[in-house]
Structure 1
Amino acid sequence: MNATPGTTSATAAGTKPLRIAYSPCPNDTFTFDAWAHGRVPGAPALDVTFADIDITNGMAERGEHDILKVSYAVLPWVLDEYALLPCGGALGRGCGPLVLTAEPGRDLTGAVVAVPSEKSTAYLLFRLWAAATVPGGVGQIVVLPFDQIMPAVRDGKVDAGLVIHEARFTYQNYGLHCLADMGEHWESTTGLPIPLGAIIARRSLGTDTLRRLAEAARSSVRMAWDDPEASRPYVLEHAQEMDPAVADQHIGLYVNEFTADLGEDGYAAVRGLLERAATEGLVPGVGAQALAFP
């Protein structure tokens, strides 16, 4: 989807809200509902834009917005200007991207594969999986909006599709088969959670403000856990006609202890992903200190 203006939280007169962009997916609207609507005491006000991950990745590369939800895969290109917040993002177990095909067991050697972005964690996980399991190598990579990938596979326009988010719960409705789970491969080879989406904020805001932002994000998700019904109108308003039960599954899968705090395992997962991807030549190398929170 295109970037669209969203909700602006309450702000004191004369105080300019911070510009934030995140997706309309249930995990993001659930996480940021309290903050976006001015219910987190002492939190900076927000001016919200909704945009899919490929768009927010581009925003980060261009230095747009103060706070962004991006793919961990884009961090090597933006960490000079943005700091990784230790909360608010999406990591987990059993929640990885899937490779779907129209027929079971398809050989992907030389195949045309649709992906949601070439600067996404999903894409990095896919390339790491393919390097280990498709000796002949896949063929052409085609970037499509994530909601067009399953129809393209079903209709034979591509040989396989890499899907994310709620597609985990709906791909069988398209008559498709799961060829491989990128998360299972990642977890079985590393023992680490799957790093998907990160929250970053402009370093120029200063250390004190960055710490306030981290605490606001942490408080917002905890408030959502304490009173899930409070966020439901916001979640369903932006869930793109998603079934409420699927939205609940989505939140349950992607909003977890790592959303409140990356912790040791979370940081190890991020470092592991970027180091492996750099070894494969998929991303530039990132120094250990670049990921540290001020």
Structure 2
Amino acid sequence: MTKQLTFGYSPCPNDTYMFNAIAHGAVGVDGYRLQPVLHDIETLNGMAMDTVLDVTKLSFYAWLEVKDRYQLLDSGAAMGFGCGPVLIARKQLTPTEIHRCRVVLPGRWTTAHLLLRLWAPKADQRLFTTYDQIFNALSSGRADCGVIIHESRFTFEAAGFTPVVDLGAWWEEMTGLPIPLGGIAARKGLGKGLIRQIDAAVNASIRRAMADPEEALPYIRRHAQEMEDAVLRAHVRTFVNDFSLAQTDLGRRAIEQLESMARDAGVI
């Protein structure tokens, strides 16, 4: 009898691209059905805190809180250069003004929130919503500035907003390392053997997508917030790369650096 493993990931183009083969049964684990559970990243972070899912995408900030229960996979990471969160506003703001501003963020446990806390530790007027509501929060005046992630980094200027700081670029200048945004983790209780098989399935699904990018487009379009093909393709190119196939020593150093800076700042 086939057993079921719940697999949580976001509806964002990079995740639906990478896991299209798993979602449609072209790649899997012998004896198991990897059942997709799609939610925004902060919902997945919260579910990880309660150990709800067997396998899940989560922000690295959240993973630092649950790594006693979840093992990070080698495959599936959202990590790289030039792909970090961006702080935006309706008008230009100076860094010294940020601590007086209301900042809207895409979730308490997102790496975007952690990076803001590291960059602007005195910015304590922090509000939270889902990533797709950041523009609305700024346009309505509920917040003075906001941190965007996912496909919003490609559309914010056309929507009338201006960049304040690229938090990913700040991280890269500070550390010389890729920015670790999120990864895939499996419940340690599944056992090391099964976790290795899950990791191999995730890797195979990504490789299949890279070999035939067009195959995943219908699945991507079904879930994407931004439907323009040029934006979808730019999103995938930005967030799916060699680090998605394997963390490498450089990637592991980036995660360790993020944890070290978070501990030094007292936010974990």
TM (norm. structure 2) is 0.95
Could you list the runs of 5+ residues in structure 1 that have no partner in the other structure? 1-13, 132-136, 284-294
Indicate the residue corresponding to 2:13 in structure 1. 26
Indicate the residue corresponding to 1:40 in structure 2. 27
Alpha-carbon distance in structure 1 between the residues aligned to 2:85 and 2:195: 30
- 1:74-223 aligned at under 5 Å gives the runs 74-106=62-94, 107-131=97-121, 137-223=122-208
Alpha-carbon distance in structure 2 between the residues aligned to 1:237 and 1:227: 18
Displacement, 1:241?
A: 4.9
Displacement, 1:185?
A: 0.3
Displacement, 1:156?
A: 2.0
Alignment check: 8 A CA contact 1:33 1:231 kept: yes
Compute the RMSD of aligned alpha carbons: 1.3
Residue aligned with 1:104, SS: coil
Alignment check: 8 A CA contact 1:97 1:164 kept: yes
Residue aligned with 1:95, SS: coil
| In the alignment, structure 1 residue 50 sits paired with structure 2 residue 35 | no
Deviates more, 1:199-208 or 1:40-49: 40-49
Q: 1:244 aligns with which of 225, 229, 232?
A: 229
Displacement, 1:197?
A: 1.0
Alpha-carbon distance in structure 1 between the residues aligned to 2:262 and 2:124: 19
**For residues 101 and 221 of structure 1, do their structure 2 counterparts lie closer, same or farther at Cα, with a shift above 3 Å needed?**
same
Alpha-carbon distance in structure 2 between the residues aligned to 1:237 and 1:62: 29
Indicate the residue corresponding to 1:4 in structure 2. none
Alpha-carbon distance in structure 2 between the residues aligned to 1:42 and 1:49: 17
Alignment check: 8 A CA contact 2:117 2:123 kept: no
Alpha-carbon distance in structure 2 between the residues aligned to 1:19 and 1:41: 12
Alignment check: 8 A CA contact 1:165 1:250 kept: yes
Could you list the runs of 5+ residues in structure 2 that have no partner in the other structure? none
Write out the 4+ residue segments of structure 1 that deviate beyond 6 Å after TM superposition. none
Indicate the residue corresponding to 2:54 in structure 1. 66
Residue aligned with 2:141, SS: coil
Deviates more, 1:139-148 or 1:26-35: 139-148
Alpha-carbon distance in structure 1 between the residues aligned to 2:29 and 2:150: 32
Residue aligned with 1:35, SS: helix
Alpha-carbon displacement from aligned partner over 1:127-177 (angstroms, at most 9, x marks no partner): 11114xxxxx22410001111111221332211101101111111122110
- Give the paired residue count: 265
Residue aligned with 2:56, SS: strand
Deviates more, 1:241-250 or 1:191-200: 241-250
Indicate the residue corresponding to 1:16 in structure 2. 3
Deviates more, 1:103-112 or 1:54-63: 103-112
Alignment check: 8 A CA contact 1:34 1:220 kept: yes
**For residues 205 and 41 of structure 1, do their structure 2 counterparts lie closer, same or farther at Cα, with a shift above 3 Å needed?**
closer
Residue aligned with 1:109, SS: helix
Displacement, 1:109?
A: 2.6
Alignment check: 8 A CA contact 2:9 2:38 kept: yes
Alpha-carbon distance in structure 2 between the residues aligned to 1:116 and 1:243: 22
Amino acid at match of 2:3: K
